[in-house]
Amino acid sequence: MISIIDYKMGNTRSVFNAFKLLGENVEITNEKDRLTRAEAIVLPGVGSFNDGMKDLNQNGLKEFLTEEIIDRKKPYLGICLGLEFLAKRSYEGGVCDGFGWIDSEIVKLQPSEKQNKVPHMGWNDTEIIKEHGLMKDFTEAVFYYLHSFHMKINNSEKEVITSKCNYGGIGIVSSIQKNNIYAVQFHPEKSQENGLKLLKNFLEDIRK
């Protein structure tokens, strides 16, 4: 069973439908006993980092996820906010602590090219840095993005970056992989065939 965390931050049903198209058993839940039994945990989300983290903390899910993902090594896929939560902190609406699993910070997008607006919304070419795991076997890596903040990874963990994109002169971390932790800034559930392929790659990689 693939468990998608329900925490009131958006696109869980679209992610659910994408996994269903792949023929997977999938559920949307915030019940810890169900998440404990899951083969993998998926944390999607759109909106405010602070609001999302507040909801996770109120439900005791931040500490729970650290136990499941870091201590028990359960596969994790973060989508958009689910990637941003991995950072030590975010500067969206003030300083807010994240999970701290990746040595990084979440900072506001500030494109140097004026024609590029914030939020970054729409399709973008994505440069594959490491062709394995999530980013395996793409002939044209184009994905759908929707975000106003992005992950700035410190030098100590640059090796976790598996793809990037350029938006207005800024190099955006598009995807990362660190052991059992997988995450993307873009939205595979909105990225049509490429998005389904990425989810399939995730499942194949955790099952090999």
pLDDT digits (tens, 9 = 90+) for 165-187: 999 888 999 999 999 999 999 99
pLDDT digits (tens, 9 = 90+) for 66-78: 999 999 999 999 9
Q: Percentage of the chain surpassing pLDDT 90?
A: 87
For residue 56, count other CB atoms closer than 10 A to its CB.
24
Q: Residue 41 sits in a domain of what CATH number?
A: 3.40.50.880
Structural tokens at position 112: 């140097």
Specify the pLDDT at position 93. 82
Known catalytic residue at 157: no
Known catalytic residue at 80: yes
The Cα–Cα gap between 185 and 1 comes to 24
The dihedral over CA atoms of 9, 106, 95, 88, expressed in degrees to the nearest 10, equals 100
CA-atom Rg of the chain in angstroms: 16
DSSP-derived letter for residue 156 is G
> Which is catalytic among the residues 68, 84, 105, 189?
189
Q: Percentage of the chain surpassing pLDDT 70?
A: 100
Grade residue 153 by pLDDT with cuts at 50, 70 and 90. Answer: very high
Q: What rounded mean pLDDT belongs to the chain?
A: 95
β-partners of residue 153 are 104
Which range, 5-9, 16-20, 90-94, 164-168, has the best average confidence (pLDDT)? 16-20
Helix (H, G, I), strand (E, B) or coil at 73: coil
Known catalytic residue at 187: yes
Specify the pLDDT at position 30. 94
The model's pTM: 0.96
Q: What is the mean pLDDT of residues 159-164?
A: 97
- Residue 144, pLDDT > 80, answer yes
Q: Could you tell me the residue range of the domain that residue 80 belongs to?
A: 2-207
Query: Is 92:106 a contact under the CB 8 Å cutoff?
Result: yes
The Cα–Cα gap between 84 and 114 comes to 25
What is the domain count for the chain?
A: 1
> Which is catalytic among the residues 120, 147, 150, 187?
187
> Which is catalytic among the residues 80, 84, 147, 150?
80
